[in-house]
Amino acid sequence: MRFTVSASSGRARLGHLALSGGPDHPVAMATPGYLIYNRCGSDPHLPQSPAGILLTPLNHWLDKLALLRQAGNLRQLCRLRPDRQLLLSLTDHLDYYPTPGVTAQHVGLPTRSGKAPLTVELQAELTLLTSPELVQPLADCEIRDGDGRKRARKSVDRSLAFYDRFVTALEQQGGLGGGGPALMASWVGGYSAEERLRCLRELESRGADGLVVEGFRYYNQPVEDFRLAQCESVLTEALQQQQRSQPPRPLYFPGLVHPADIIRAAELGFDLFDGSLPALLTRRGLAWLTSVTGGSWWLHVGDVELLTATDRPLDPGCCCRCCRQFSLSYLAHLSLSNEILASILLMEHNSARLAAFFNELRSAIGSAESLGGLATKYAAAVVPPTAAVAPLANEQARLKDDEA
């Protein structure tokens, strides 16, 4: 992995992340950028999506070990495109679960079969089976607002120990080296700026390739309830005391879904974000519009009144396949008829909107004056809670299946 910074405005920076996808399929992405969200290693809703990095949560594979071992390799199992690269993260930040149990030996990660213990040795095996280009080593992220510095210190100490043991286990299994994955270490320390700074310095001294912000969001907290303002002061203090690392390392902030929070995080110097917003909106039957319509950035396509929208497109300002080839009334019909095509088209549209948003963000960083204007533009783009909308029928079925 190679990360370079091409320009900066304050702490916000424009960069370039390059990964080796082989001589015929190199992968490069501009930063700030997003990882393509998925659950189990494929992106069926985006057959025409550009090359990029897939975010693959490890907890979804803990109860599928037998299948993965039988296949021998995740790429073969999921028939991944050659230009697809993988980041094997610890958990799926889009879903929320009971708080996992953490000990000095393992972390209990949530799966559909219940809580499963993940040890360093098991993660090393999963890393070899999935062959990711980026991997997030095991860490103690179980911190709550109000926990004291003693708990934050324990979180840092455990995470550093997990990191060292993971590197050793991967080396012993032959999975680390010139062709091994880059290590995106968890930056923990709770709400203690001192422990955050200590963790940051320790990870940089260990040569971590990148950093993942963890330890702020509760595991049983809906993703839209987490706001950057809850931890901004801690992050700002830690980042201000730490000089810019050389060579620069990408900073990844998972779990941010509100556009205004993503913009502010980019202003603080973060480079990567998870691309879970399109999936979150699609699950709830919401379309992200190119401009505020009817006082909102979001349109619920399952509204029966939209059946009379004639041939009007979903969003006249969008050029995605959904908006070019299908009418809003047809999309509403698909949604109300419980057709899976409604989710597919909506996912394509919301993914196109997310890509356009990050293009806007990168352009704004190139012009410092327009960055403030972009933040003002999206200040009201707050994702509504689940109770405020009626999810699509297939999402209701998925939720019932998860509860069962």
C-alpha separations of 273 from 32, 205, 315, 339, 384 in Å: 8, 24, 25, 30, 20
Question: At 194, is the pLDDT very low, low, confident or very high (cuts 50, 70, 90)?
Answer: very high
Least confident stretch, 214-218, 258-262, 342-346: 214-218
Name the residue with higher pLDDT: 242 or 108: 108
Transcribe 279-316 into DSSP letters.
HHHHHTTEEEEEEEETTEEEEETT-GGGGG-TT-BS-T
- Asked if 221 and 96 touch (Cβ cutoff 8 Å), the reply is yes
Percent of the chain having pLDDT more than 90?
42
> Can you give the pTM of this predicted structure?
0.90
| Residue 350 pLDDT exceeds 60 | yes
| Residue 397 pLDDT exceeds 90 | no
Mean pLDDT of the chain: 84
Question: Domain segments of the chain: what residues?
Answer: 2-275, 282-403
What CATH class does 2-275 carry? alpha beta
Name the residue with higher pLDDT: 354 or 393: 354
Per-residue pLDDT of 116-154, as tens digits, reads 889 999 999 999 888 888 999 999 987 776 678 898 899
Per-residue pLDDT of 208-219, as tens digits, reads 999 999 988 766
- Asked if 252 and 272 touch (Cβ cutoff 8 Å), the reply is yes
| Residue 390 pLDDT exceeds 60 | no
* Among the listed residues 32, 3, 6, the one whose alpha carbon sits nearest the alpha carbon of residue 19: 3
